[in-house]
């Protein structure tokens, strides 16, 4: 009888280790935000102010918005128009309200543009645009126009900067992990559906997000011992958000993957940002292996040992 196969065990951290890692991640998060400064925000705000001014100019200070003519002329102004609402309407909600995929179109017929304009008018912010709701409607004062333009542009900019920040952080985090894998001799292969252990060879990793047993995985890795290391990259901007990012999102996937692959799949989370100690403990207790973006040495050690 052949001897039983023993696999390398991924690291498990005690509370003191987790606390040290957590505090180091928060320090890195603070330094990143301080270095970021306000230059990007100011640049985006200036561009958005110009876009809102264009919408005002094409619609006679929004009086003729309902005709849809401005959106036919420049469909990209739907992005501006979504922020006229109180509260603003997301692209997905906008399409639902319009009962048509409109928000991201580059061309609009007159009928679709009018439907889009009607959705906006139904939600338009009375406090921001008081001149539209007086009887009869009137022209805005110079101060009202300027406040409304900057208010709208500010709402747009906050959302855009937050979205870009999340996207940039995720891309950076995934690139750091991919570079580690390359440095360790792993071979990048195209993204693919993975439903069995043989769908990703030992020593390979998917260069793009792939679907593993029905759930998206940021970086699936074929360990050299034949197992899968299913790696999720997570950035949390608050302790409250860490429950969603780690325990719910990764936890649900880990449970599904465990049900499909059993012990042949290890779920890992590479973390950056702000996390509660309890959430880290709970995630590890649920079988999720934790690594920190600011210190990938333990991940490298495990990858070397899993042969």
Q: What is the pLDDT along the chain (307 residues), one digit of tens a residue?
A: 444 567 899 999 999 999 999 999 999 999 888 877 778 889 999 999 999 999 999 999 999 999 999 999 999 999 999 999 988 988 899 889 888 888 888 888 999 999 999 999 988 999 999 999 999 999 999 999 999 999 999 999 999 988 888 888 888 999 999 999 999 999 999 999 999 999 999 999 999 999 999 999 999 999 999 999 999 999 998 888 889 889 999 999 999 999 999 999 999 999 999 999 999 999 999 999 999 999 999 999 999 999 9
Q: How far apart are CA 8 and CA 65, in angstroms?
A: 64
Give the residue among 89, 87, 84, 91 at the shortest CA–CA distance from 149: 84
Residue with tokens 């792939």: 210
- Whether the pTM exceeds 0.85: the reply is no
Q: Give the residue extent of every domain in the chain.
A: 15-36+184-305, 39-162
Taken in order 162, 167, 172, 177, is the CA torsion positive or negative? positive
- Listed residue (200, 170, 183) closest to 297, CA to CA: 183
Q: For the range 84-88, what are the long-range contacts, defined as Cβ-Cβ under 8 Å and sequence gap of 24 or more?
A: 84/120, 84/123, 84/124, 84/125, 84/128, 84/129, 84/152, 85/120, 85/123, 85/124, 85/125, 86/123, 86/124, 86/125, 86/126, 86/127, 86/128, 88/155, 88/156, 88/159
Non-local (6+) Cβ contacts of 55 within 8 A are 62, 65, 70, 77, 80, 81
User: Looking at domain 15-36+184-305, does it have CATH number 3.40.1350?
Assistant: yes
Q: Are 117 and 104 in contact (CB under 8 A)?
A: no
Structure tokens at 270: 């590479």
Task: Identify whether the C-beta of residue 226 lies closer than 8 Å to the C-beta of residue 197.
Answer: yes
- Virtual CA dihedral for 205, 207, 210, 212, nearest 10 degrees? 10
pLDDT, position 229? 98
**Which positions ≥6 away from 300 have C-beta within 8 Å?**
180, 184
């Amino acid at each position: 009888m052949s001897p039983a196969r023993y696999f390398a065990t991924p690291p498990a951290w005690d509370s003191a280790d987790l606390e040290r890692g957590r505090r180091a991640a928060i320090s890195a998060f603070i330094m990143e935000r301080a270095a970021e400064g306000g230059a990007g925000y100011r640049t985006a705000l200036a561009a958005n102010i110009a876009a809102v001014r264009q919408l005002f100019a094409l619609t006679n200070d929004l009086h003729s918005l309902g005709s849809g003519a401005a959106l036919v002329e420049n469909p990209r102004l739907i992005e501006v128009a979504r922020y006229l609402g109180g509260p603003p309407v997301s692209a997905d909600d906008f399409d639902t309200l319009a009962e048509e995929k409109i928000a991201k179109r580059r061309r609009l017929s007159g009928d679709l543009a009018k439907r889009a304009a009607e959705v906006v008018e139904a939600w338009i912010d009375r406090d921001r645009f008081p001149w539209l709701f007086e009887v009869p409607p009137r022209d805005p004062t110079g101060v009202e126009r300027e406040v409304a333009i900057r208010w709208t542009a500010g709402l747009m900019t906050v959302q855009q900067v937050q979205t870009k920040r999340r996207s940039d952080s995720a891309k950076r985090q995934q690139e750091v992990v991919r570079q580690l894998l390359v440095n360790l001799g792993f071979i990048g292969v195209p993204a693919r559906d993975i439903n069995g252990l043989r769908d990703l060879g030992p020593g390979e990793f998917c260069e793009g997000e792939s679907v593993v047993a029905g759930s998206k995985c940021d970086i699936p890795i074929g360990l050299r011992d034949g197992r899968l290391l299913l790696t999720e990259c997570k950035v949390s901007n608050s302790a409250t958000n860490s429950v969603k990012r780690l325990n719910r999102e990764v936890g649900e996937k880990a449970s599904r993957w465990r049900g499909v692959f059993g012990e042949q799949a290890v779920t890992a989370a590479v973390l950056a940002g702000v996390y509660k100690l309890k959430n880290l403990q709970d995630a590890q207790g649920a079988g999720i292996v934790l690594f920190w973006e600011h210190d990938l040495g333990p991940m490298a050690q495990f990858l070397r040992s899993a042969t």
